[in-house]
Amino acid sequence: MALKGFLDMLPLSLAVLPWGILCGSLAIQRDFTLLEALLMPLLVFAGSAQLVATELIASNAPLATILFTTFIISSRHFLYGLALRDKLKILPTRWRLSLGFLLTDELFALSTSPRSLKGKLRLIYALSASGSFYVCWLLWNIIGIVAGSYLPDLTETGLDFAIAVTFIALVIPTIRNIPVLVTVVVAGVLSVVFKLINWELGLVFASVLAMFCGYITFIFIDNKKAQRNQEKA
Amino acid sequence: MNLITLILMAVITFTTRYLFLHPRLPIKLGAKTIKVLSFSAPAVLTAIWVPIIFVREQALILSPTNPYLIGATIAVILAAKGNNIYVTVGVGMLVFIGMKFIFQY
């Protein structure tokens, strides 16, 4: 199970390689000390929040701005916590704290099945998947720290496509019914619109609105079915 | 100084992840909320990947020679046909890099 967790996470761990290198090298280029550059992936452990905060710290932004921005970028994790709450709140503290710390987009992406995180084996699977992702993220950052300023700007090379394509591979197969299809279409359209107006909270709002559209579609279809069954009876 | 900033940032990222996993938090999720939340994975993951494909520097890119668009289209087709993640990601990446090279994007 531990090996399977590692292997299932591997494509996602590799997909963030350019981002990790970018985070590490940016920290060094912006005159962070070695310790600070290492503590970013070790403690903050968040791709986009790390990148944005590094630029903000380097430009001497006020502390409140840095922390507020971090909070906004991180706020999508509230959704993950809520979605996994009933499965994880019953676990012993050490499991909750460790899986909570490791609760990234990537771990959440691998925890969508109703059976996920139930029973010791699936917990070990999740811990190995998310733990290996953490180690990889740290390694990619260290490569960036070491290579530092010798590297070209990796965001310009279009390697962010790697993240998009892994998420495509994870999301598309889960579209097995109309409500999920509606969710995906609404999330896709709204996220683009919000991104175009550069709204920081757009990701969270696009997601929440899409979830409600999916739910409403589900209720609508459910009612239709119930009506049809009544007519038959 | 930076060190304190980093530690406060870590507190924020950890809190957003852990808060709702805490058992003592006095909230109880009803059946309706749980159903709404069941759509969270496709919703959030899609809201992350779609803008990467269509938005560059705050502009919408719908050009058919956009390597992101071509790569993503191929990947969506492969994933929909039930290919595993390695095939989808591998072929998607190759198409993307090839198109980037051809169109000098």
Q: Residue A155: its pLDDT value, please?
A: 55
Q: What is the domain count for chain A?
A: 2
Percent of chain B having pLDDT more than 70? 98
Q: Is the pLDDT of residue A22 over 90?
A: no
Q: Which pLDDT tens digit goes with each residue over A24-77?
A: 988 988 889 999 999 999 999 998 889 889 988 988 889 999 999 999 999 999
Are A26 and A70 in the same domain? yes
Q: Which pLDDT tens digit goes with each residue over A148-180?
A: 767 766 556 677 898 899 999 999 999 999 999
Are A192 and A164 in the same domain? no
- Count CB atoms within 10 A of the CB of residue B13: 24
Nearest Cβ partner for B43 among A44, A77, A187: A187
Q: B49 falls in which pLDDT band (50, 70, 90)?
A: very high
Q: Which domain holds residue B68?
A: 2-103
B96/A187 touch (CB, cutoff 8 Å), yes or no:
no
Q: A210 falls in which pLDDT band (50, 70, 90)?
A: very high
Are A80 and A159 in the same domain? yes
A187/B42 touch (CB, cutoff 8 Å), yes or no:
yes
Asked if B94 reaches chain A (Cβ–Cβ under 8 Å), the answer is no
Percent of chain A having pLDDT more than 90? 71
Q: Is the pLDDT of residue B23 over 60?
A: yes
Nearest Cβ partner for B48 among A99, A167, A169: A167
Asked if A179 reaches chain B (Cβ–Cβ under 8 Å), the answer is yes
Asked if A127 reaches chain B (Cβ–Cβ under 8 Å), the answer is no
Q: Which domain holds residue A86?
A: 2-174
Are A180 and A164 in the same domain? no
Residues of B in contact with A109 (CB under 8 A): 41, 45
CA dihedral B15, B17, B18, B24 (to 10 degrees): 90
Q: What is the mean pLDDT of residues B33-53?
A: 94
- To test the contact with chain B by mutation, choose from A172, A182, A185 the residue with the greatest count of B C-beta atoms within 10 A, namely A172
Percent of chain A having pLDDT more than 70? 97
Are A8 and A82 in the same domain? yes
Asked if B69 reaches chain A (Cβ–Cβ under 8 Å), the answer is no
Are A85 and A112 in the same domain? yes
Q: Nearest residue of A to residue B25 by CA position?
A: A89
DSSP B20: G
Q: What is the domain count for chain B?
A: 1
Percent of chain B having pLDDT more than 90? 75
Are A149 and A205 in the same domain? no
